[in-house]
Chain A
Amino acid sequence: QQPRFGECKLKRLVALEPSNRIEAEAGVIESWDPNNQQFQCAGVAVVRRTIEPNGLLLPQYSNAPQLLYIVKGRGITGVLFPGCPETFEESQQGQSRIRPSLRSASFQRDRHQKIRHFREGDVIAFPAGVAHWCYNDGDTPVVAVALMDTTNNANQLDQNPRNFYLAGNPDDEFRPQGQQEYEQHRRQQQHQQRHGEPGQQQRGSGNNVFSGFDADFLADAFNVDTETARRLQSENDHRRSIVRVEGRQLQVIRPRWSREEQEREERKERERERESESERRQSRRGGRDDN
């Protein structure tokens, strides 16, 4: 593992704009070149994601811990800790509200792990190797800047930032697009050489972690038919890593504010805004005393 600050022979620091941009179906991913000397020195990689309203950032985990700052917008996130129970459970009532077509008692009610709300100004910590997803349930885009600490002890791989997706067919966020297209083309050729014509293939040509496995293995592991298992590989999905939720808002199980709580929260929010405005005025008046 590279020692931290091992590559810090810097003569001059430069403020940098993102160097790579990927347009996804429901958002944009911009990243700064992780090979830049400054980032190599600090042992970090940085990415900015813009998620449009009703956009879903696909579930993923990475080789380094991340700290995410919500520049604007609001939404929800799910962090999938292995072995933790699914503590958010759908009630019989909820089930019929959400899915009137599926009222049969034989259907399994949905349950999943805790969901957390976020809004502008929040920092969110994602441990290394722990999968998570984000969804914009607001009316404005969510802009989130994420720093990956690639020299953190939790990362035993090299310093390259790596995202492992559990769904979809995403691009590598840290690789320039030209290079990605070239490598995708090369990979498709290799794939066809190894497995014959498309259509006969067992393994997906996508980019998520399931696409590298035989569909047979997946069918066994999930106890489903091969066709359903193959859907995990998201072969012909061109939406990239931020996808649009079709139709209405994403229906997940989550606690909601009661009307009184909602009003109380809005009152508090207005008070906070008034306080910060008066702080700004005060600081403008006393600006001369600042060092």
Chain B
Amino acid sequence: GLEETICTLRLRENIGDPSRADIYTEEAGRISTANSHTLPVLRWLQLSAERGALYSDALYVPHWNLNAHSVVYALRGRAEVQVVDNFGQTVFDDELREGQLLTIPQNFAVVKRARNEGFEWVSFKTNENAMVSPLAGRTSAIRALPEEVLANALQIPREDARRLKFNRQESTLVRSRPSSSRSSR
């Protein structure tokens, strides 16, 4: 029965095709994922992959990888990337350019912002169903907190807590403010 099962296993899944995107924001970019649901052989390998494209000045909101390390290979363009550890220390704060590889350990928080020419990448993740937990936006941990927990935790008025919770309606990819309105670093 091997020829009916193992030998004919589906080993390929195209995640580069924009029309196959799993997450798409018209102004900001797209993300496609291959995991053990879309490509069952990945259950054996216990790996998955994410292919992303950020348009000019777009932002992949701060997030952490819940159950996997992530090794990011830059395919095209440039992005400002920051990675933060459990002590709140910035362990990476640099530009990621085409051809470069960056390892983001499990649970470390990361944010990416594309430069003018946009940014494309592929991430290899060390779990067959790698999951991401966003820190901002509609599906974020901050949004899931009661307003008053946030207000007390940050010592801010409830109005500010509400703004932090609800001002961003997108879930993952967002359009960044024009660079002229951002304070210089």
CB contact list, B53-71 vs A, under 8 A: 59, 61-62, 64-69
Q: Is the CB of A203 within 8 A of B90?
A: yes
Q: Which are the 5 A-B pairs with shortest beta-carbon distances?
A: A212-B84, A129-B66, A167-B153, A82-B133, A221-B136
Q: Which of A81, A108, A213, A218 contacts B166 (CB 8 A)?
A: A108
Q: Is the CB of A162 within 8 A of B107?
A: yes
Cα A243 to Cα B152 in complex, Å, equals 8
Is A115 among interface residues, defined by CB-CB distance under 8 A?
yes
Chain B interface residue number, banded: 35 or more
Is A75 among interface residues, defined by CB-CB distance under 8 A?
no
Q: Which of A108, A243, A250 contacts B162 (CB 8 A)?
A: A108
Q: Which of B66, B105, B137, B153 contacts A168 (CB 8 A)?
A: B153
Q: Is the CB of B133 within 8 A of A212?
A: no
Q: Which of A102, A157, A166 contacts B135 (CB 8 A)?
A: A166
Q: Is the CB of B162 within 8 A of A107?
A: yes
Q: Which of B69, B141, B155 contacts A156 (CB 8 A)?
A: B69
Q: Is the CB of B106 within 8 A of A156?
A: yes
Chain B residues with Cβ below 8 Å from A218 are: 62, 136
Number of interface residues of A (CB under 8 A): 75
Most buried by A among B143, B152, B168: B152
Q: Is the CB of B85 within 8 A of A212?
A: yes
Q: Is the CB of A220 within 8 A of B113?
A: yes
Is A17 among interface residues, defined by CB-CB distance under 8 A?
no
Q: Is the CB of B164 within 8 A of A228?
A: yes
Q: Point out residues on B near A: beta carbons under 8 Å.
A: 59, 61-62, 64-69, 82-91, 105-107, 109, 111, 113, 126-127, 131-137, 139-150, 152-156, 158, 160, 162-168, 174, 176-177, 182-183, 185
Chain B residues with Cβ below 8 Å from A138 are: none
Q: Is the CB of A82 within 8 A of B131?
A: yes
Q: How far is the CB of A274 from chain B (nearest CB, A)?
A: 37
Q: How far is the CB of A211 from chain B (nearest CB, A)?
A: 4
Q: Is the CB of B68 within 8 A of A156?
A: yes
Known: A209-B88, A220-B59, A223-B174. 7 other contacts (CB 8 A): A110-B146, A130-B66, A156-B106, A163-B86, A166-B153, A224-B164, A251-B148
Q: How far is the CB of A221 from chain B (nearest CB, A)?
A: 4
Is A263 among interface residues, defined by CB-CB distance under 8 A?
no
Q: Is the CB of A157 within 8 A of B106?
A: yes
Q: Is the CB of A223 within 8 A of B168?
A: yes
